[in-house]
Chains A and B, each alone.
Chain A
Amino acid sequence: MNKTRASGRTVGGLRTLSLQAPAVTLLLVWMLVPLGMTLWFSLQRYNLLMPGMTGFAGLENYEYLFTDPALWSAMGTTLLLVGWVLVITVVGGTLLAVLFQQDFAGRGIARVLAISPFFVMPTVSALVWKNMMMHPSNGVLSWVAETFGLPAVDWFSSLPLTSIIIIVAWQWLPFALLILLTAMQSLDDDQVEAARMDGAGPVAIFFFITLPHLKRAISVVIMIEMIFLLTIFAEIFVTTSGGPGLATTNLAYLIYIQALLNFDVGMASAGGVVAIILANIVAIFLVRMVARNLED
């Protein structure tokens, strides 16, 4: 930055401020302006399709939101979705990392194949799963089931949330794999060798050496994925549109219904505010817990 600042090194506060200023200010603006508008709109009667019907509404939007049975179900769905995807990707990612850490023929190419889903657009992966994998009559999965003489599963009708979880987990598994694999590479081989000499089997080694070593990496995976999974939208929009019933309506989708089907900006804003509060609760409890893991 500025050369004269070199002398101000001891006054760390000032320089810190000036260096962080661009990012912090921009994010503040990015957050506060829409947030301010969202807060303001959430207290207004404001429907895009009803010009003229405007005015201060007080807490009416919130009242409608909180008496909507769909809200609680959407919160539950959000948590279920995040929770299951996390479990699948972390457990699966760890196992895959162990596997791809082993030496085998063509490991490099196999690894590249396994991480590929991470590069695919969420909309495309949802479309591919919906139309080519899970389609009840043209899908590959139904064909596989029929080949083994099993009844074809009608994925999006009978197992809607499971289907979404599968698609999202497929996208995020490679991410977990990438990070855990990186972490695995710094595992001390001598330690493993010593344990093996002491007669520890592969299972014991995994639980007592590998897993503790991966603790930090797993925390990171959980935190980063959580940020993205809380606002999952495209996969639901493309496949089930939140249904059947409310089976796959998460908070983001519920807000979408208000904002872009009803064009009820007031209500959607109230939903947005609730989502921000929920996000911050999660941030305070979980991210902090994880972040503590990352300290030292």
Chain B
Amino acid sequence: MKLTRSLPMATLAAAIASASQAQAQTEITVATVNNNDMVIMQSLTDQFEQANPDIKLDWVVLEENVLRQRLTTDIATEGGQFDVMTIGTYEVPIWAERGWLAAFDNLPEGYDEEDLLKSVRNGLSHDCTLHALPFYGESSMLYYRTDLFDEHGIDMPEQPSWEEVRDWAAEIHDPDNETFGICLRGKPGWGENMAFVSTLVNTFGGRWFDEDWNPELDSPEWQEAISFYVDLLGNYGPPGASSNGFNENQALFSSGKCAMWVDATSAAGRIFNPDESSVADQLGFSQAPVAETPKGSHWLWSWALAIPASSEKQEAARTFVEWATSKEYIELVGETEGWTSVPPGTRTSTYEDERYIEAAPFADFVLEAMQGADPTDSTLKPSPYIGVQFVGIPEFQAIGTQVGQTIASALTGDASVEQALQSAQQATERTMKRAGYLD
């Protein structure tokens, strides 16, 4: 709506500008997260601007939580502050459904849409049309220290079970020497501890909601999964586990303090880089552990670049998004930053590239995990929602964060698992009632 209203104005302004200036520059505002891959993208600004002299990039780089609230406020109120937004597989379908995002139909030939991993493409589509292009993608897997496993004579099977993982953690755990059996996410947040906890609940056979949207947080599966998690991380985890998120765990693991770590595949590039990690030589990989069912045992996430429908600079924004998610961009990063630093998990061609396979021995595991994650069928019993480690409804941000808090309180021992799940169940029921899912 806003687009049609303001388009003539924009054209007029552009016409005046170009009349007075031989080469009019379009300045686009790109909002992104301060993750490493995005920082590299930002550092390649010059390359883009040289190739597209009529476009100037203006960066807004924020921490994930701040960025998310900022972008949502802006897009929902049609604030029009940003031309390119970095959002994830959780937001894209919801926002696209509300008509907030520009569709990426008729992508140029050279972009090779078919090359994008199918699961990622599905995750970023609404009505079979892409509404954001993937910048990088990730699943989850198990990282372990081969030296410690050898020392204790443990062989890592193809597909470990959670029970095995617990036994190994117990055996290796040596807090006096700052070696902890396992590191897992404990920091509350729907994108932090709940991402991991949801996959754990999935593999224990549980689900967030039954087919009528009744929350199932007090079900035996949740009880079992959460008790397991609290015991495992409480007994064999590092101190302060309840404030460790992805970043904190990555720092712990790469400084050699964890024997095992189950987390995002996107960390592989960095913990395999000897400059940033002291365990690069002793790094082993395996699929994420399973319990009752392999379904939903590892997640699927992608950070993607989207263009708000209200942006007045669609063309320039599109040029940028297509550039930043192209094969050429991956090539550019590979050549300038090294092949372990290329954004992973988006294109099949990356995983067929000899240079990448040679530099990144974990490539196979990542590809397999990415392809194996199915957001539309991630629970043992059928569920009404899409998403492996999240529930694709707008209310989930608040629900996930609240439940994340109660689970963290179970982890610190402030509440028993039973109490925590009880109050999580009640809070979720309230929210779902309020949102009109339940009577």
Residues of A within 8 A of B (CB): 47-51, 53, 64, 67-70, 135-137, 152, 154-158, 237, 240-247, 257-258, 260-264, 267
Minimum CB distance partner of B70 in chain A:
A260
A48 near B73 with CB under 8 A, answer yes
Report whether A247 and B414 are in contact in the complex, using a CB–CB cutoff of 8 Å.
Answer: yes
Contact of A261 with B397 in the complex, beta carbons under 8 Å: yes
Residues on B with C-beta less than 8 A from A237 are: 65
Question: Can you name 16 A-B pairs with beta carbons within 8 Å?
Answer: A48-B76, A53-B436, A136-B240, A137-B239, A137-B240, A155-B240, A156-B242, A157-B240, A243-B188, A244-B242, A245-B405, A245-B415, A260-B72, A262-B397, A262-B398, A263-B394
With both beta carbons as reference points, the residue of chain B lying nearest to A267 in the complex is identified as B434
Q: How far is the CB of B281 from chain A (nearest CB, A)?
A: 22
| Shortest CB distance B220–A (Å) | 23
Which residues on the B side are within 8 Å of A64 (C-beta)? Answer: 430, 434
Question: Are A257 and B76 in contact (CB-based, < 8 A)?
Answer: no
B67 to chain A, nearest CB (A): 12
Does B129 interact with chain A (Cβ within 8 Å)? no
Contact: B434 with A244, CB < 8 Å? no
Contact in complex: A261, B239 (CB < 8 Å) = no
Complex CA–CA separation, A69 to B241 (angstroms): 27
Name the distance in Å between B73's Cβ and chain A's nearest Cβ: 7
- Give, as a whole number of angstroms, the nearest-CB distance from B314 to chain A: 21
From B242, B401, B408, B436, contact of A257 by CB (8 A): B401
B287 contacts which chain A residues (CB < 8 A)? none
Name the contact of A49 in the complex, choosing from B69, B76, B414 (C-beta under 8 A).
B76
B408 A244 Cβ-Cβ under 8 A? yes
* Closest partner residue, chain B, to A158 (CB atom): B412
Q: Which residue of the partner chain A has the closest CB to B72?
A: A263
Between A152, A242, A261, the greatest number of chain B beta carbons within 10 A of the residue's beta carbon is seen for A261
Residues of A within 8 A of B239 (CB): 136-137, 152, 154
Q: B391-409, CB under 8 A of A: which get 1 and which 0? A: 0001101100110111011
8 pairs of A and B residues whose beta carbons are closest in the complex = A136-B240, A245-B409, A262-B398, A48-B76, A49-B394, A244-B408, A243-B405, A244-B409
- Give Cα distance in the complex from A67 to B429, angstroms: 13
Is B94 a contact of A49 with CB atoms below 8 Å?
A: yes
Q: How far is the CA of A244 from the CA of B239 in the complex (A)?
A: 15
Chain B residues proximal to chain A, CB less than 8 Å: 65, 69, 72-73, 76-77, 94, 98, 178, 187-189, 238-243, 252, 257, 394-395, 397-398, 401-402, 404-406, 408-409, 411-412, 414-415, 420, 423, 427, 430-431, 434-436
- Known contacts: A245-B408, A247-B414. The answer to whether A260 contacts B238 by CB under 8 A is no
- Please indicate the chain B residues that have their CB under 8 angstroms from the CB of A50 in the complex: 394, 435
Q: In the bound complex, how far is the Cα of B72 from the Cα of A242, in angstroms?
A: 21
Which residues of A lie under 8 Å from residue B76 when comparing CB positions?
Answer: 48-49, 51, 263
Q: Which residues of A contact B238 (CB under 8 A)?
A: 136-137
Contacts A158-B412, A244-B414 hold; do A257 and B430 have CB atoms under 8 A apart? no
Asked if A241 and B188 make an inter-chain contact with CB atoms under 8 angstroms apart, the answer reads yes
CA distance A158 to B427 in the complex (A): 23
Residues of A within 8 A of B252 (CB): 137
- Interfacial chain A residues near B73, Cβ < 8 Å: 48, 260, 263
Residue numbers in B under 8 Å from A240 (CB-CB): 243
For residue B405, which residues in chain A have a CB less than 8 angstroms away from its CB?
241-246
Let me know if B414 and A137 touch, CB within 8 A. no
Q: Which residue of B lies closest to A239 (CB)?
A: B243
Whether A257 lies near B402 (C-beta < 8 A) is yes
Is the beta-carbon distance between B408 and A154 smaller than 8 angstroms? Answer: no
Which residues does chain B contribute within 8 Å of A68, judged by CB atoms? 430
- For residue A155, give the distance in angstroms from its CB to the closest CB of chain B: 8
A142–B214 CA distance with the chains assembled, in angstroms: 44
Further contacts, 11 of them, CB under 8 A, given A155-B240, A257-B401: A47-B394, A53-B436, A152-B239, A154-B240, A157-B243, A157-B408, A240-B243, A243-B408, A245-B409, A245-B420, A260-B73
The answer to whether A48 and B77 touch (CB under 8 A), given A154-B239, A156-B243, is yes
Complex CA–CA separation, A228 to B77 (angstroms) = 29
Q: Assess A156 versus B240: contact at CB under 8 Å? Given A244-B409, A244-B414, A247-B414.
A: yes
Q: Which residue of A lies closest to B395 (CB)?
A: A262
CB contacts (< 8 Å) of A243 on chain B: these are: 188, 404-405, 408-409
Measured CB to CB, the nearest residue on chain A to B431 is A262
Tell me the bound Cα distance from A147 to B225 in angstroms.
38
Instruction: Give the CA-CA distance A67 to B414 in the complex, in Å.
Output: 23
Q: Across the interface, which residues of A come within 8 angstroms of B240, CB to CB?
A: 135-137, 154-157
State whether B412 touches A244 (Cβ < 8 A): yes
Complex Cα distance A149/B166, Å?
A: 29
**Which chain B residues lie closer than 8 Å to A258 at the CB level?**
398
Distance between B339 CB and nearest chain A CB, rounded to angstroms: 31
Name the CB-closest residue of B to A64: B434
Determine whether the beta carbon of A157 is less than 8 Å from that of B434. no
Taking a contact as CB atoms under 8 Å apart, the answer to whether A244 and B397 are in contact is no
Can you name the residue of chain A whose Cβ is closest to the Cβ of B399?
A: A262
Most interface-central of A53, A135, A137, A244 (chain B CB within 10 A): A244
Which residues from A are CB-within-8-Å of B423? 69
A157 cross-chain contacts in B, Cβ below 8 A: 240-243, 408, 411-412
Name the distance in Å between A250's Cβ and chain B's nearest Cβ.
Answer: 14
A205 to chain B, nearest CB (A): 46
B415 surroundings in chain A (CB, below 8 A) = 245
| In the complex, chain A residues whose CB is within 8 Å of the CB of B77 | 48
